[in-house]
């Protein structure tokens, strides 16, 4: 049995299902070749300016390059088995007399690595824009819910009251650190490689540094201080690692939403309106959050490739080539989809304040034992760890009997040691939020500074 | 500047550059959907046989399913946000009265996981065939070069003489172990999942086991003993791990070829005839071997995804879904290309026996010290470690002076302790190959048995 | 400021905090050396039997080996920089005339890899015993709670009723598959390596196969079919991968417990009695389950090392040596602690049936929509996907209004299409458990067979 | 049979075999506890200054803390099952009236995470010092061998002449980028966490920010802008990733040495003087370089743990705890040993200039084709890719016949197209090194700036 259809379908989900069109197009073969040509053209400019290529060849190449098609290169590559050599031949054939000078003195990775920098620069611009949007949304939500009371949870267990704004401000801080990391790595990664075979610039005699300068000025890139035949691969590993860290942070946020939208908790709800299950009509699943967590695993896996690509042999071996054709597009497409999903998830979130209060009361006041413990120390002179044990016992008693801690406290020694006001204060959640406003503000300021960095 | 072209290019190199068409088509969207439909149709057969669906519906669905197009499902999916639900609706709409019963009682992953088993079975068939070809080639080369003398190297340093056939027999043994692992995992992974939402078969009342039996008999699959809403994910991790191990073994073979084809060693040559470098006309690079090593890194990375997919929450969460859409096709496409490349590499290998002999002589006989040491112990009663030290000194002396060990031995105490014949014997490489023939045969027999296993 | 203490503390938590003493002692330096000596002694037996070493040397070495101390070897190693060579010298010095023949013809990895097999065999025995205990506990719990009703959850959301026994039977099945994998890999990994430098057995002339046979018979091991200077490393990768899969399955079980013991869910409780938090007296945390999940991350990470160790150069390079000294002990110690913790966790679990029922009722009957959908198709002839949409709407209405689905159904068309009995049946959880008993039994039988395998 | 010995041996090679004592002691249990106490004491200072603890308690605690022993804490921990709670009790018991206030308002991870920052700061100081030493050695070697001619190799094949100084300057640049990364990450990671349970500082009422300020000023740390109950884990992942990148760079350098010291190449020699093989007396292996490559695999593996630790649930779960006890010490100990080994390797390197020249001549002049190609374009007006093909043919002819390219050129069209001087120039290696001096200087300047950064 065959599914009728005319189109040839891709196998990779990033070619049809995940990732934005704006990101995808950066890594399509045509754009990759376009960027290679940009570098070849910039090189022609330099060769002309230093007097190796004839006057006018830069202008000529700029135009004739427009006539080269992907198919031309494919045809040549199937003959020569080398993509950049084929591109150089295609350009040469299209460009008459000036064609003679195409790629002169350059090695393939002058083109490939410099083009990677141009493409990655564009890709990081998209990542930064989307991350900025996520950060702005989170900052807005953090301010909006600055005072929305809920329980803080550690070990999956109720710990102490917090506010939703406080919780979200943590994500603001964490994600802004990823923004900083991107700024840091751009400085090391987005650099041109214009140094010829083995990196000595030998084919250009003494004009190498000048050629490098012109090419990179044209392309608006800085240079690596030195290279082998290829740019150093640590920059790529730093990129993949920084994006895997970001992915894992988004995973943490998605996990937060998935957990808080459990039926029993119900504090956050992702509005959906789509089919949740093919067989259970009642289902409404946090699928968008689950997709973020699913894709985070893909992002984390890629770092292995990037790290193994660092120890290339001597002036380079080719083992980075096939693996990077896979690594770099997928690294960006996966984070692209995750940021899109995170933005959509945040925009569709509904906050259920009633559930938050109901859950806060679920533990019958026992979450306030720390407050009482501190008061027992400070006001009643009980040693801290003794007070800890006392309240631990009282807590268990309350939970065991199913009554509120308040009731148990009233019958206990604590009621003799502390004043009624002190005890009352401890059972008022909104008075036990510490310096949350100060901390939220500090986190948001941190993020604003980070966003100004690059 | 834009590269003119009509076609939309993919971003993933496995969609245009790596992997065979036979493997690629298994993971194309149309084939995936075709396999989903196979399962839906088998389910209809079961529903009909147990009396839930009307007589004749199996035949009806078998036919009307042919009319469903990928585009139809895409259109429904963009509305409902659920691929299998959309498929079920498309089938239902195409199949009249019988359409009512499409997917009845099934959950999406009954379809998806059972289809994965069908697809993976096909994919493993391709992997096994290609691995068998590689093994057969290696066995042939191993026999052909059973007696081709060369130096064995440990730590990159000359160790003792071996033969090329002996070296290759090790790869035969190693790869045949991967073949065995594939047989082992097929037994656990290639199983159908027909148990409905949460895995209890509840929607089919007491007819679940019968339905499962009919569906899986139709599809020629065995059943999982029990499942949650999805099949257990350890099977996928075992698959990815076994293929990553195979990939790393091919990497080892490729590394062997890359090293032995260095200019200074030159024992193996990969005939190429293509352009080696875009700027260095003299270059002839072992690019096919380097691609194998490059893709091995990709294969190794994927295990992280597969392992992280095991701890799904409760009766399943969705985080395996997006990651497996990425994981499974790429796992197979990468090993597919690697096996193709390995076969091509082995077929294009030229063995340079002269270089092998030249290199064997390079270390001026010092590689034969073990032989002399053993004779000093057995024939002259020198303690083993004393003999070791003696010969270590003599070796250094020979290498230091740049003369042959033989000459140094002749002037040393060793010449007094051992007979001339014994010393002569030690300097005859072909008499110091131990039980290489026996071992080669044992390795090849092991492999033949492995290949008969599945 | 300094913490006063006499003892030197270790840095690795597996040397003082995690792992059992029985497992730890297998990987202590003294036991490693003891195993190396076992192999050297077995080799002496073989050398004596084939007539290379004098009669009686096996007995002599068996005894004098007892006098060698770790410190002796350390002293020699600091001089010679080679651990096995130092061991051989220490043995030789302790054993008089027979000492001459110690290690004769063997290479270090004859000793090391054969000793690894002995040690790993012991370690896998411990793993299998502990896994068997966990499986037996799970089987018992599965039977005990065969009928304990609870809600099945997918995507963290309520799906359909299941029983706790059904849930646990899934873990039984999954873990028994890991047991099988261990049996499979033992066959490939637990093999001796007795083939001398580069693997040809050359130093033993034509007596290599006989020597190998005697050594391995003495140590009760089978032989690798062929080797380089070292045993093939794919066996180690298979081991680490199988244990990482097992670790991830235990992680899944621990996650189950962590989630089900959340305050809001409260279906499982880990009795603790210890301090939960240093500052929050009320806390009782599922720390043992969290430790399992924490250590699973360590287990998963180790596969990278094992895979990268496969592509050793030529007849071996040494890069596996340092990494395996780290890899192998930690691989076993981490799974050892995880299995201990899992057993403890399971033993301390308390099942809260009331909470299970309360949560089952939480979704106001909406989890039973699948049952109604199937009846609408089968009994009322409504197309499946139409019925799906109908019930999806009714579900949302019920949840929106905060009333039970039953109430909403009664006012809807469904009440006209289905009989009261049919509707009643759908709202009886215990009648919508499908073939759970059959499936539990099938899973337990599968496990029992697996446990009989090795 | 038992190996007699009194001492209990550790299982982890980093506890006896790898890593320096200075690094190891940072992660020993006693130092970890000492650092915890440092934070508790600093907290007491703050509590006293803001008026919560009585005057003088800081001084009291500073002294009585000295009396607490590891064993005391172990004893309490076996009772309470919580290490920091046990420490707090031990301190409280040792410190009389002031003991009441120990740990007041703090949560365990205020202590643990702030102590990690102190310990990691010390550990990074060691890493930076050792990396600086390696960089200084490499810079010195780079200058010393600025003009030492050798062949540059790509794909393992001869490419073009370079100098050893140029080769090493690449490592200088690459490693200095790792130094920069360490400076970048210190800024985000080395921060104190003083915010109590769930991070709101609630237990300290409105005095939290002041307490945080005093504690961190005392410990000379900056604060995180906000935290949950724990510091954000992205900082740890960034650390592990940066060190894994550094490890992979050292692996690249070690691989360089291992390859260049092959018998057939012999350009670099690691002086050893130790036993190379237990059975082959002649062996002298680059074991130190192999150990670097072996340990790099361990370093790369750890990133998986660190990334998986980022998505902690809500205000924290405990799954980072066990995994970090493993992760952080091993991350540092492995890089510590690698840097020590790299320094030793570089110091013991002998450069064989004769072998470098011999190998340079091995390819019979064919490596100079690029030079001729460029001249054919620039001086004779031949299109670049035509010249490429011409020289490719001539190269093959020379290598096929086993004569020098020079001879083949003389009989070819090239001799008519180019002057004798031009051809001569192309066969003078030292005139085809391009701008190597400029590039070496640029690389060294880059490194010097990097080393000044932190």
Chain-centroid distance, C-alpha B300: 11
* A7 domain-assigned: no
Same domain, A231 and A287: yes
Q: Best interface-test mutation with C: which of A251, A271, A273, A280 has the largest number of C CBs within 10 A? A: A280
Query: What does pLDDT average to over chain C?
Result: 94
Q: Which single residue is written with the structure tokens 């592990």?
A: D240
Quote the longest CA-to-CA distance of chain C. 101
**Residue after which a domain boundary falls, among D43, D78, D101:** D101
* C320 domain-assigned: yes
In this predicted structure, what is the pLDDT of residue B273? 59
CATH number, domain containing residue B311: 1.20.200.10
Range of weakest confidence among B431-445, C230-244, D120-134, D382-396: D382-396
Looking at the complex, does the CB of residue C70 fall below 8 Å from at least one CB of chain A? no
> Phi and psi dihedrals of A403, rounded to 5?
-115, 170
A12 → closest Cβ in B1, B12, B278: B12
In this predicted structure, what is the pLDDT of residue D282? 85
pLDDT, tens only, D198-235: 999 999 999 999 999 999 999 999 999 999 999 999 99
- Is the Cβ pair A244, D101 closer than 8 Å? no
Q: Which of C56, C97, A105, B163 is nearest to D160 (CA)?
A: A105
From first CA to last CA, the distance across chain A in angstroms is 55
The span from the CA of B429 to the CA of B2, in Å, is: 63
Contact present, C202 and B433 (Cβ < 8 Å):
yes
In this predicted structure, what is the pLDDT of residue A5? 43
**In which element (H, E) is residue C416 found?**
helix C414-417
CB atoms closer than 10 angstroms to residue C437: 16
Paired residues of A269 in beta bridges: A350
Q: Which of C164, C131, C128, C162 is nearest to C145 (CA)?
A: C164
* C406 domain-assigned: yes
- Is the Cβ pair B237, C241 closer than 8 Å? yes
Q: Which of C295, C304, C248 is nearest to B234 (CA)?
A: C248
Cα nearest neighbour of A229 on chain D: D154
Spell out the SS3 assignment of A244-297.
Answer: HHHHHHHHHHHHHHHHHCCCCCCCEEECCCCCCCCCCCCCCCCHHHHHHHHHHH
Three-state SS for B192?
strand
Confidence tier at C273 by pLDDT (50, 70, 90): low
pLDDT, tens only, D375-406: 999 999 999 889 999 999 999 999 889 899 99
Same domain, C294 and C371: no
Chain-centroid distance, C-alpha B235: 16
The span from the CA of C331 to the CA of B14, in Å, is: 34
**Residue after which a domain boundary falls, among B43, B69, B101:** B101
Catalytic residue list of C = 155, 277
| ipTM for this prediction | 0.96
Tokens of D252: 């690249």
On the question of pLDDT at C443 being above 70, the answer is: yes
Mean pLDDT score, D127-146: 98
Range of weakest confidence among A4-8, B11-15, C11-15: A4-8
Q: Which single residue is written with the structure tokens 């050398």?
A: C47
Same domain, B228 and B324: yes
Stretch 375-394 of chain C: residues touching chain A, C-beta under 8 Å: 387-392
> Phi and psi dihedrals of D23, rounded to 5?
-75, -45
In this predicted structure, what is the pLDDT of residue A3? 45
- Spell out the residues 6+ positions from residue B329 whose beta carbon is closer than 8 angstroms to its own: A11, A12, B14, B27
Same domain, D200 and D333: yes
- Is the Cβ pair A285, C155 closer than 8 Å? yes
Tokens of B102: 């499409």
Query: What does pLDDT average to over chain B?
Result: 94
In this predicted structure, what is the pLDDT of residue B411? 92
CATH number, domain containing residue B43: 1.10.275.10
- Counting other chains too, the contacts that C397-402 makes at CB distance below 8 Å and 24 or more residues apart are C398/C364, C398/C365, C398/C366, C399/A282, C399/C363, C399/C364, C399/C366, C402/C364
B244 vs A contacts (CB less than 8 Å):
none
> Phi and psi dihedrals of B441, rounded to 5?
-65, -40
* C5 domain-assigned: no
Confidence tier at D6 by pLDDT (50, 70, 90): very low
Q: Best interface-test mutation with C: which of D5, D87, D278, D338 has the largest number of C CBs within 10 A? A: D278
Mean pLDDT score, C38-48: 98
Q: What radius of gyration, in Å, describes the C-alpha atoms of chain D? A: 30
The predicted model scores a pTM of 0.97
Confidence tier at C227 by pLDDT (50, 70, 90): very high
D234 → closest Cβ in A245, A255, A436: A245
On the question of pLDDT at D1 being above 70, the answer is: no
Pairing of strands A149-154, A157-163: antiparallel
Same domain, B126 and B258: yes
The span from the CA of B163 to the CA of C198, in Å, is: 11
The span from the CA of D137 to the CA of D344, in Å, is: 10
The span from the CA of C324 to the CA of C329, in Å, is: 8
Q: CA torsion, points B7, B10, B16, B21, in degrees to nearest 10? A: -90
Distance from CA of C157 to the nearest CA of A (A): 6
Mean pLDDT score, B330-347: 98
Which DSSP symbol is given to B156? T
Stretch 106-165 of chain A: residues touching chain D, C-beta under 8 Å: 152-156, 159-162
Looking at the complex, does the CB of residue C61 fall below 8 Å from at least one CB of chain D? no
The span from the CA of C305 to the CA of C323, in Å, is: 7
Which DSSP symbol is given to D28? S
- Is the Cβ pair B154, C198 closer than 8 Å? yes
Stretch 225-264 of chain B: residues touching chain A, C-beta under 8 Å: 258
**Signed CA dihedral, A142, A147, A151, A154: sign only:** positive
Three-state SS for B12?
coil
**Which chains pack against A, by 3+ Cβ pairs within 8 A?**
B, C, D
Same domain, B287 and B152: yes
Looking at the complex, does the CB of residue C173 fall below 8 Å from at least one CB of chain D? no
Counting one residue from chain B and one from chain D, the pairs whose CB atoms sit within 8 A come to 133
Which DSSP symbol is given to C367? G
On the question of pLDDT at D358 being above 70, the answer is: yes
The span from the CA of A75 to the CA of A64, in Å, is: 18
Q: Which residues of chain A are modeled with pLDDT < 50?
A: 1-6
pLDDT, tens only, A224-278: 999 999 999 999 999 999 999 999 999 999 999 999 999 999 999 987 657 778 8
Contact present, C243 and B254 (Cβ < 8 Å):
no
Cα nearest neighbour of A391 on chain C: C281
C180 vs B contacts (CB less than 8 Å):
188
Cα nearest neighbour of A280 on chain C: C370
In this predicted structure, what is the pLDDT of residue C281? 84
The span from the CA of B378 to the CA of C47, in Å, is: 11
> Phi and psi dihedrals of C222, rounded to 5?
-90, 170
- Is the Cβ pair D281, B391 closer than 8 Å? yes
Q: Which of D297, A111, A231 is nearest to C324 (CA)?
A: D297
The span from the CA of A196 to the CA of A215, in Å, is: 13
A155 vs D contacts (CB less than 8 Å):
316-318
D412 backbone φψ class: left, alpha, beta (φ>0; ψ -120 to 50): beta
Same domain, B79 and B32: yes
The span from the CA of D163 to the CA of D299, in Å, is: 31
The span from the CA of A77 to the CA of A58, in Å, is: 25
* D11 domain-assigned: no
Tokens of B301: 């990375």
* B168 domain-assigned: yes
Q: CA torsion, points B249, B254, B257, B260, in degrees to nearest 10? A: -80
Cα nearest neighbour of B367 on chain D: D282
How many CA atoms lie within 13 Å of D254's alpha carbon, on the beta-carbon side?
32
Burial of C271 (0-12, 13-18, 19+ CB in 10 A): exposed
Contact present, A35 and A118 (Cβ < 8 Å):
yes
How many CA atoms lie within 13 Å of A152's alpha carbon, on the beta-carbon side?
35
DSSP alpha helices (H): ranges in C349-368?
353-362
Distance from CA of D296 to the nearest CA of B (A): 15
Same domain, B234 and B155: yes
Same domain, A159 and A303: yes
Paired residues of B350 in beta bridges: B269
B234 → closest Cβ in C249, C384, C445: C249
Catalytic residue list of B = 155, 277
Tokens of A178: 């990823």
Q: Best interface-test mutation with B: which of C241, C448, C449 has the largest number of B CBs within 10 A? A: C241
Q: CA triplet C235, C240, C241: central angle to 5 degrees?
A: 95
D321 vs C contacts (CB less than 8 Å):
290-291, 294
In this predicted structure, what is the pLDDT of residue A235? 98
Provide the number of structural domains found in chain D: 3
Tokens of C398: 């019920």
In this predicted structure, what is the pLDDT of residue A7? 53
The span from the CA of A113 to the CA of A190, in Å, is: 10
A434 vs D contacts (CB less than 8 Å):
195-196, 200-206, 208
The span from the CA of D70 to the CA of D68, in Å, is: 7
Same domain, A390 and A304: no
Same domain, A338 and A378: no
Q: Of these residues, A4, A78, A155, A282, which one is catalytic?
A: A155
Counting one residue from chain C and one from chain D, the pairs whose CB atoms sit within 8 A come to 266
Helix and strand numbers, DSSP H then E, in chain B: 19, 6
Range of weakest confidence among B70-74, C53-57, C222-226: B70-74
pLDDT, tens only, D86-130: 999 999 999 999 999 999 999 999 999 999 999 999 999 999 999
pLDDT, tens only, C401-441: 989 999 999 999 999 999 999 999 999 999 999 999 999 99
Q: Best interface-test mutation with B: which of D256, D279, D280, D375 has the largest number of B CBs within 10 A? A: D280
**Which chains pack against B, by 3+ Cβ pairs within 8 A?**
A, C, D
Q: CA torsion, points C38, C41, C47, C53, in degrees to nearest 10? A: 170
- Is the Cβ pair A244, D307 closer than 8 Å? yes
CB atoms closer than 10 angstroms to residue B403: 14
Pairing of strands A268-270, D349-351: unpaired
Same domain, D174 and D159: yes
* C299 domain-assigned: yes
Helix, strand, coil % (nearest 5) of chain B? 70, 5, 25
**Signed CA dihedral, B14, B16, B20, B26: sign only:** positive
Three-state SS for C270?
strand
In this predicted structure, what is the pLDDT of residue B276? 79
Looking at the complex, does the CB of residue D50 fall below 8 Å from at least one CB of chain A? no
pLDDT, tens only, D322-356: 999 999 999 999 999 999 999 999 999 999 999 99
- Is the Cβ pair D321, C294 closer than 8 Å? yes
In this predicted structure, what is the pLDDT of residue B81? 85
Q: Which single residue is written with the structure tokens 């801690």?
A: A405
D197 → closest Cβ in A88, A105, A370: A370
pLDDT, tens only, B164-190: 999 999 999 999 999 999 999 999 999
The span from the CA of A307 to the CA of A325, in Å, is: 15
Chain-centroid distance, C-alpha A364: 40
pLDDT, tens only, A53-86: 999 999 999 999 999 998 889 899 888 888 899 9
**Residue after which a domain boundary falls, among D51, D81, D101:** D101
Confidence tier at B284 by pLDDT (50, 70, 90): confident
CB atoms closer than 10 angstroms to residue D397: 17
* C402 domain-assigned: yes
In this predicted structure, what is the pLDDT of residue D273? 59
Q: Best interface-test mutation with D: which of A131, A182, A322, A384 has the largest number of D CBs within 10 A? A: A384
- Is the Cβ pair A255, D303 closer than 8 Å? no
Confidence tier at C1 by pLDDT (50, 70, 90): very low
Which structural domain, as residue segments, surrounds residue C284?
Answer: 108-205+218-272+279-359
- Spell out the residues 6+ positions from residue D162 whose beta carbon is closer than 8 angstroms to its own: A198, A199, A200, A315, D149, D150, D151, D152, D433, D436
């Amino acid at each position: 049995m065959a599914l009728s259809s005319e189109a040839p379908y891709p196998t990779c989900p990033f070619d049809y299902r995940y990732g934005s069109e704006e990101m995808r197009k950066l890594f399509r073969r045509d754009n990759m070749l376009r960027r290679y040509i940009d570098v070849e053209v910039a090189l022609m400019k330099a060769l002309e300016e230093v007097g190796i290529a004839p006057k006018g060849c830069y202008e000529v190449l700029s135009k004739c390059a427009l006539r080269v098609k992907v198919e031309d290169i494919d045809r040549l590559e199937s003959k020569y088995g080398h993509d950049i050599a084929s591109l150089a031949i295609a350009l040469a054939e299209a460009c008459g007399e000036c064609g003679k000078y195409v790629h002169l003195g350059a090695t393939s990775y002058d083109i490939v690595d410099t083009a990677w920098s141009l493409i990655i620069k564009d890709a990081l611009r998209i990542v930064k824009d989307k991350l900025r949007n996520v950060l702005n949304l989170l900052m807005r939500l953090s301010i909006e819910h600055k005072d929305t009371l809920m329980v803080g949870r550690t070990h999956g267990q109720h710990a102490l009251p917090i506010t939703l704004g406080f919780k979200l401000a943590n994500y603001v801080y964490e994600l802004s650190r990823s923004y900083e990391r991107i700024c840091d790595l751009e400085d090391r990664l987005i650099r041109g490689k214009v140094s010829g075979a083995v990196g000595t610039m030998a084919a250009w005699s003494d004009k190498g540094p000048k050629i490098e300068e012109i090419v990179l000025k044209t392309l608006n890139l800085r240079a690596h201080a030195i290279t082998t035949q290829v740019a150093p691969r640590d920059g790529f590993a730093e990129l993949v690692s920084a994006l895997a860290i970001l992915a894992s942070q988004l995973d943490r946020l998605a996990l937060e939403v998935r957990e808080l939208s459990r039926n029993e908790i119900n504090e956050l709800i992702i509005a959906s309106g789509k089919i949740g299950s093919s067989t259970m009509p009642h289902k409404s699943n946090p699928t968008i959050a689950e997709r973020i967590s699913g894709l985070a695993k893909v992002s984390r896996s890629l770092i292995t490739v990037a790290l193994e690509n660092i120890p290339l042999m001597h002036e380079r071996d080719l083992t980075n080539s096939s693996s990077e054709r896979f690594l770099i597009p997928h690294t960006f497409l996966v984070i692209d989809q995750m940021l899109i999903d995170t933005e959509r998830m945040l925009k569709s979130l509904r906050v259920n304040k009633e559930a938050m209060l109901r859950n806060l009361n679920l533990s019958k006041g026992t979450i306030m034992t720390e407050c009482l413990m501190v008061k027992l120390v400070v006001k009643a002179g009980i040693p801290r760890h003794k007070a800890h044990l006392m309240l631990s016992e009282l807590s268990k008693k309350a939970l065991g009997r199913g009554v509120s801690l308040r009731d148990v406290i009233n019958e206990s020694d604590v009621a003799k040691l502390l004043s009624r006001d002190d005890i009352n204060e401890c059972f008022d959640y909104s008075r036990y939020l510490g310096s949350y406003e100060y901390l939220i503000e500090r986190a948001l300021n941190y993020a604003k500074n980070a966003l100004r960095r690059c």
